A = this chain, B = another copy of it.
Amino acid sequence: MRYELYYWPDAQGRGEFIRLALEEAGADYVDVARRGQRGVDAMLKLMNNARALRPPYAPPFLRAGKLVIAQTANILLYLGPRLGLAPREEAAALWLHQLQLTISDLVVEIHDTHHPVTTYLYYEEQRPAAKRRTADFWRYRIPKLLGYFERVLARSGGAYVLGRRLSYVDLSLFQIIEGLRYAFPSRMKRFERKVPDLVALHDRVAQRPRIAAYLASDRRIPFSQWGIYRYFKELDVK
């Protein structure tokens, strides 16, 4: 099966959680919108197809044969067992998906640190609100959310959230750590000692041969100021 991934070509964004799963599995896939303007046009055409009975609301979405599946966590729910990154057994599949949905919630909170008031203003137009939101994010939300995943890892009986077996959730947690390091290098440097198991998970994922090759390739879009994770010095340093 050749998968077609549709996502904006200029940012890692939510598409990255899916790319990491496809890359780790060595799956046959095309990152459609990164094939130039014709790729982006193809994505928009699929989204806006007036005859589509089940249109996606927004990227990312995945074409798998006749299926078009949207919503990041839903795509991973579908791909997980097919890529060997999730068990087929229902209780474990629901548990992984539950963790992935909590990661989705965290992604919204990370984005909102730099755009709390509205996405229809520039960061520079909502800087005081961003500072307040970021302060609360690091005071309350990050300790609670990353503390939760740290606890999950501690109880898993292994290095990964399912124990000894790698899953797509581990790849997503790797990406969260990467993104937080990009957006908040100073804050992360101080915080990481509180979540040693998450940091160890991150390092273990980074060293997996296919992930290491992917990260070194030009298939990995660099972090930038257009994604979920953006670096602003005044948000990073207290």
Contacts and interface: CB of A to CB of B under 8 A. Distances in A.
Contact of A98 (B70, B95, B98, B151): B70
A183 to B, nearest CB: 18
Given A73-B101, A148-B57, A116 B129 contact: yes
Contacts of A226: none
Contact of A74 (B98, B129, B152): B98
A192 interface: no
A116 B117 CA distance: 5
Contacts of A145: 57
Interface string A53-79: 111110000000001011101100110
Interface string A32-64: 000000000000000000001111110000000
A203 interface: no
B136 A118 contact: yes
A108 to B, nearest CB: 6
Contacts of A77: 94, 97
A98 B118 contact: no
Nearest to A140: B120
Interface in A83-119: 91, 94-95, 97-98, 101-102, 108, 112, 116-119
A233 interface: no
A132 interface: yes
Given A97-B74, A97-B77, A91 B67 contact: yes
A102 B73 CA distance: 11
Contacts of A57: 98, 102, 145, 148
Interface string A154-182: 01100000000000000000000000000
Question: Closest 7 A-B residue pairs measured CB to CB?
Answer: A71-B101, A118-B136, A117-B129, A71-B98, A57-B102, A120-B136, A74-B98
Given A116-B118, A129-B129, 8 more contacts: A54-B98, A55-B148, A67-B91, A71-B102, A74-B94, A78-B94, A116-B117, A120-B140
